[in-house]
Amino acid sequence: MNNSQERTILITGGTGSFGYAFTRKLLQQSSFERIIIFSRDEMKQWEMQAKFEDFSDRLRFFIGDVRDEARLKRAFSGVDVVVHAAALKIVQTAEYNPFDCIKTNIMGAMNVANAAIDSGVKKVIALSTDKASSPVNLYGATKLCSDKVMVGANSYSGDGSSRFSVVRYGNVMGSRGSLLRYLHSLRDGETVTLTDQRMTRFMLDIEDATELVLKVIETMRGGEIVVKKCPTMKVVDVISALRPDSPIKVVGIRPGEKLHEEMVSSAESLRCADLGDRYVIMPPIPLPLSSFTDLQTLVVEEGFSYNSETNPDVMTSSALLSWYRNNLEFLK
C-alpha cells in the first residue's frame, strides 16, 4: 500500500474513537512496522495498551499535547507518516472555551506542520469535519483554519520532502459524543432530547473512515481536501429507528449548531473534482510540487454543494439497525 520506505506512522489524538479503529486496522496489516500513539491522557493510553497487548512489539505510546511543539518534534523523530486526529471537537464546549479550542485546533495544527517539516516526516494527513465547510460555530471555524494551515504547509516544505493533505468527513457513527452513542446509553422508554425535527446529518461508518485515510496515505499529492461520500439521515428518523418507544422532547438548536451539515460548499465547487466514491477539493493556491491538471475534467458544476439536506444517498432505518446490531461492541 505505502512506499517501502514508509515504515513508521504516528497518530495524534490516537486514543480517540478514530485512533482505536485506525490502530486496529493497521495492526491487521503489515504496512507499517511501528505505530506510535500520541495523546495527552495517560489513562486512555494505559487502557489502549492493555487492549492491544499482543502487539506490543509494534506499538509505542507518547504522552504529549499538540500545543507543545518541542514534544511533537521529539515524537516525530524517525516518523514517516503522521495522521493528525487530535482536536477539541464538542461544539458547545468550544463556544464556552474559545481560547483553548483555538490553542489546540489552530495552534496545534501549526505545531504539527512545523514539527513534521523540521523532522522530515514524508506525509501528514489531517482529519477535518463537515463543520469546517461554511462554518457557523467556533469549532468549525478552527477546523477551517486547521485545513488552511495544512494545505498551505505544502508551500513551507521547501523541497517538498513533507506533503500535507486533509480528509474531511461527517458524523462518524458511534464515535464518542455521537448521537448513536447517546441513544445507546439511554434506557428503554427514556425521553430523548432533539434540537429540531428538521435536522439532518451525514452518517459515516468508522470502517469507511479508516479506509479513506489509508487510501489518502497511498494516493495523496499534497494540498488536497478529500471528502468521502456517505449517506444522510434525518436525526428524528435515527431516534425513531433506535428508540421507537422513547418520547422525544424538542429543546431548540444549541449554540453553534446547524440544521444541515455541509462537506463541500458552493464556493469550493469551482475546484472540486468528483472521483465517484469521493470528492477532491483542489488547493486554492498553486503548489509547484502538486499537480491536479488531470482532475480538471472532473470538476463539478459551479454552485454545487454537498450537504446533508440535499444528499440523494439516504440511509434507511433498516440499514441503520443492521449497522447498530453489528457494532454493539464498538458502542460500549
Catalytic residue set: 131
Per DSSP, the three-state class of 192 is: strand
Give backbone dihedrals phi and psi of 117, rounded to 5 degrees, phi first.
-65, -45
Enter the C-alpha cell of residue 85.
486526529
Report how far residue 95's alpha carbon sits from residue 86's, in angstroms, rounded to the nearest whole number. Answer: 18
Name the nearest CA neighbour of 75 among 148, 141, 66: 66
Is residue 200 within 8 Å of residue 263, measured between CB atoms? no
Q: Please report, for residues 61, 94, 115, 116, 274, the alpha-carbon distance to residue 262 in angstroms, rounded to integers and kept in the order given.
A: 35, 19, 31, 30, 16
DSSP-derived secondary structure for 256-303: T--SS-EEE-GGGGGGEEE-SSEEEE--SS--TT---GGGGGGBPPTT
Of 107, 222, 217, 202, the C-alpha closest to 161 is: 222
- The set of cell numbers assigned to 3 is 512506499
In 3D space, the residue among 199, 180, 170, 320 whose CA is nearest the CA of residue 258 turns out to be 199
CA distances, 163 to each of 4, 86, 166 (Å)? 17, 19, 11
Neighbours of 262 (CB within 10 A): 24
**CA-CA distance, 226 to 275, in Å (whole number)?**
10
From start to end of 54-183, where are the E strands?
59-63, 81-84, 123-129, 163-169
